[in-house]
Amino acid sequence: MKKIVVASVLMIALFSAFACSQGDKKAPADKGKPSVKKDGAPIVTFVEIGSVKCIPCKKMQPIMKEIEQEYAGKVKVVFYDVWTPEGKPYGQKYGIRLIPTQVFLDKDGKEYYRHEGYFPKEELVKVLKQKGV
């Protein structure tokens, strides 16, 4: 039984790696520019760590855009493509095990929540509300 479970996990990991290596869309506009409130600081920084070549990561792109628009001034959205030389250091900085990974930082820059994999918007909004967004 253990062998079947291990084999299944390995197959899923290999499929995910293959699926994430397919496609070649360009990254969304620079997400490093903050959306800020009147005092100059966002309430939450939502860091999406993934790749524009990863299928689950691609599905997160519209959600990131919606969050950035709907919560402008309260949430700063940042995207790092860890399959590029520029983004790779962020994978190490945040200790990423798989992509996509969402990291939520409070107004002081401290991580208060982390999620791995595709994150539905409804669930993501619940995490933002934890900090009063």
Query: pTM above 0.75?
Result: no
Active site residues: 54, 57
With residues binned 3-state (H G I as helix, E B as strand, rest as coil), the percentages for the chain, rounded to 5, are 40, 20, 45
Assigned CATH for 2-129: 3.40.30.10
Burial class (CB in 10 A: 0-12, 13-18, 19+), 64: buried
- Tell me what pLDDT residue 20 has: 41
DSSP-assigned letter for residue 35 = P
Per-residue pLDDT tens over the stretch 64-114: 999 999 999 999 999 999 999 999 999 999 999 999 999 999 999 999 999
Residue ranges of the domains in the chain? 2-129
Predicted confidence at residue 39, as pLDDT, reads 57
Take residue 131 and report the two structure tokens written for it.
């900090």
Side chain identity at residue 68, one-letter code:
E
Gap between the Cα atoms of 29 and 109, Å rounded: 23
